[in-house]
């Protein structure tokens, strides 16, 4: 069975601070995919990144960066110079291939509050 | 329209009503999903349709009945719901190709309140 743990329930920062959201996953599969989604107050989950288990290269996209470490089963997400618009719930998710389709196992999410 | 759309955005229904949620994806994907998001609970996968065929039913009560007439449309028919079914219902779609798990794209959700 798969499991995703986001230990931080809520994080509050002041604008321009850097913030890291933690994600730890469990799976016995050797091939898997990791995702991050953002859910603003409007409710829609917005896809941010997909990473497969064979690619441990860190990724940077603007103010966002992701640190994938298989040795610790972690896929952490850092927002640099946070902005008020970054306030949202962020979900980490894990997918393994399963008989013709893929399903996502989500963590419980981390609510990020960025104040001016 | 682009992406994944859902209607209605908000729905209030009594426990004896029958209603349907609609989802449409404009991304050319071949898999569609229904999720339930309750307060303080992880997102729960309810149903998966792959090429219009239901491939997963996560022990969902029979008062929820999905329908997928084609790869672009997905419905969730509701009848005799309970107050604990009040939640945000999210639809998603993705591409299924070979052994790769592609990302799912989500609609804005239907906020359901059962009275």
CB distance B103 to A47 below 8 Å: yes
Check B92 against A35: CB less than 8 A apart.
Answer: no
Dihedral sign of CA atoms B62, B64, B69, B72 in order: negative
Convert the pLDDT of each residue in B11-40 to its tens digit.
Answer: 999 888 899 999 999 999 989 999 999 987
Q: Which residues pair with B36 in a beta bridge?
A: B44, B89
- Closest Cα in chain B to A111: B40
3-class state of residue A72 by DSSP: helix
Chain B neighbors of A107, CB-CB under 8 A: 42
How high does pLDDT run on average in chain B? 90
Mind listing the pLDDT tens digit for each residue in B32-57? 999 999 987 789 999 988 876 777 67
DSSP code for A64: E
Residue B68: its chain A contacts at CB < 8 A?
Answer: none
CB B107 within 8 A of CB B3: yes
Would the CB atoms of B56 and A101 count as touching at under 8 Å?
yes
More confident residue, B56 or B87: B87
- Cβ–Cβ gap B90/A42 under 8 Å: no
Residue B100 and residue A85: Cα distance in Å, rounded? 32
Q: Give B61-71 pLDDT, tens digit per residue.
A: 999 999 999 98
Partner residues linked to B18 by β-bridges: B79
The partner residue sitting opposite A101, judged by closest CB among B55, B90, B109, is B55
């Amino acid at each position: 069975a798969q499991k995703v743990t986001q230990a931080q329930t809520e994080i509050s920062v002041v604008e321009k601070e850097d913030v890291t959201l933690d994600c730890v996953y469990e799976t016995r599969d050797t091939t898997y995919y990791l995702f991050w989604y953002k859910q603003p107050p409007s409710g829609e989950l917005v896809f941010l990144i997909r990473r497969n288990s064979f690619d441990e290269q860190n990724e940077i996209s603007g103010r966002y960066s992701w640190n994938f470490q298989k040795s610790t089963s972690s896929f952490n997400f850092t927002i640099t110079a946070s902005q008020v618009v970054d306030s949202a719930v962020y979900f980490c998710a894990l997918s393994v291939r399963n008989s013709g389709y893929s399903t996502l196992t989500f963590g419980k999410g981390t609510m990020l509050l960025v104040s001016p | 329209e682009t992406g994944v759309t859902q209607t209605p955005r908000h729905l209030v229904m009594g426990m004896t009503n029958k209603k349907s949620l609609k989802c449409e994806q404009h991304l050319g994907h071949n898999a569609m999903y229904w999720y339930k998001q309750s307060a303080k609970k992880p997102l729960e996968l309810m149903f998966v349709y792959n090429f219009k065929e239901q491939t997963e039913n996560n022990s969902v009560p029979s008062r929820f009945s999905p329908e997928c007439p084609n790869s672009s449309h997905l419905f969730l028919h509701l009848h005799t719901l309970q107050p604990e079914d009040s939640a945000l219902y999210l639809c998603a779609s993705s591409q299924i190709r070979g052994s790769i798990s592609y990302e799912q794209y989500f609609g804005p959700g239907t906020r359901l309140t059962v009275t």
